[in-house]
Amino acid sequence: MNGDSCGRVRIGFIGCGAHASQNLYPSLRFADGDLVAAADPMEERRLYVKRYFGAGRVYESYEAMLGKEALDAVIVCGPPSLYEEAGLAALGRKLPVLVEKPPAESLEGCKRLRRAAVAAGKPLMVAMMKRFSQKYEISNAQGRSATPEPVNPSPFRNEDSPVSRAAGHVASRPARRVQAPEVRGMGRTSFFISAWRKRCRTAAFSAA
């Protein structure tokens, strides 16, 4: 299955470092997808991901993975210098892409990624999950207010975010806002897969 089919999503993952292994790969179990391949230049990291997270195949380079695998989506997690080049390569193959933040090392790099996504007609997501955190929501609301007031971030803990709650953390106090059902309790990778499937279903409906 690849491309327009709406079955389980075939995921290719670029990067097998500490952040990916500690936070992103574990969350794939919540997603309706399969980790069919992973790429990283370090053999030890590749084998770790294959053993503990069930990657179907592992590659030393993402170019080899993109060239050989029939993928539905790509996730990129590594040094910021990787996001633009790997993101452009995946979008060039018309694959939806999720990159960690920052999406590029420069504003021009971000614009190149955006143009590539528009040209490919595929979603490009950046893992800015903190936009769902209370302190960021309140700061955003204050910024749009005609009479903004200083925001003290100390009362708010990272555990208030739906990503942290999904990881099993307990907020220090009840959240002030209830997040939308399609967001609450999802990590960034499962939210990305959910968005892919929703887009896929919409495209299938429009074509019918």
Per-residue pLDDT, 151: 57
- In single-letter form, the type of residue at position 55 comes to A
Q: Find the helix packing angle between 80-92 and 107-120, rounded to 10°.
A: 20
The CATH number of residue 192's host domain is 3.40.50.720
**Is residue 154 one of the residues assigned to a domain?**
no
What pLDDT, on the 0 to 100 scale, is given for residue 200? 54
At 132, the pLDDT band (50, 70, 90 cuts) reads low
Q: What is the pTM of this model?
A: 0.67
Does residue 149 lie within any of the structural domains? no
- Give yes or no for residue 20 having a pLDDT over 90: yes
Q: Work out the pLDDT band at 137, boundaries 50, 70, 90.
A: confident
What's the pLDDT score for residue 183?
36
Contacts of 27 (CB under 8 A, 6+ apart): 166, 187, 188, 189, 190
- Find the domain containing 100 and state its range: 9-128+186-200
Among the residue ranges 17-31, 101-115, 182-196, the one predicted with the least confidence is 182-196
| Average pLDDT of the residues in 112-122 | 96
Q: Is 135 domain-assigned?
A: no
The total of structural domains in the chain comes to: 1
**Is 42 part of a structural domain of the chain?**
yes
Domain annotation covers residue 62: yes
